[in-house]
Amino acid sequence: MPIKSKKALSYMRAFSQQCPTLDPLMDEDLAIAMKIYYKTRRPDLDESLILDLLQGTIYKNDRAIKLKYIEHGLSKDDPRVVMAIGPLGQASEVIEVYKELVDREPLGS
C-alpha cells in the first residue's frame, strides 16, 4: 500500500538523508530498542514506519526483528529517534546501550 501522508513522505526523506547504510546488512534475528520523540502528544507516525525504513539500510528484512522495546517522548523543538539494534541473543545488551544513549540526551528532551 503506498504511503499517502505528506508527513510520512517528509519523514521518509529526512530519514534516508540521516540513516547510514550498513555493509553488509544484518540478517540474523534482531532486537531493537528505540525512543521516538514526537512534537506533540498526538503522534501520527509510529515505529512500524521506522522499522520499514531500516529495511535495506540496516537489515535485510524487518521480519528479522524478534524483540521490540519502544518508548515515546515529547520534544516540540527536536523530534527524533534514539535507537540501538543488535542480535537477538544480545537483547539485554541492546537495551542497555539504548538506555545509555537516552540517558545522554539533553535534559528537557
Q: Which three cell numbers stand for residue 50?
A: 521506522
pLDDT digits (tens, 9 = 90+) for 77-99: 988 899 999 999 999 999 999 99
**pLDDT recorded at residue 46:** 78
Question: Is pLDDT of 22 > 80?
Answer: yes
Listed residue (43, 62, 35, 40) closest to 5, CA to CA: 43
Question: Is pLDDT of 108 > 60?
Answer: no
In a domain, 108, yes or no: no
| CATH number (domain holding residue 83) | 3.30.1330.70
In a domain, 39, yes or no: yes
Tell me the percentage of the chain whose pLDDT exceeds 90: 60
| Number of domains present in the structure of the chain | 1
**pLDDT recorded at residue 107:** 61
Confidence class for position 4, pLDDT limits 50, 70, 90: low
> Angle at the Cα of 18 (from 88 to 85), degrees rounded to 5?
10
Boundaries of domain holding 40 = 21-103
In a domain, 12, yes or no: no
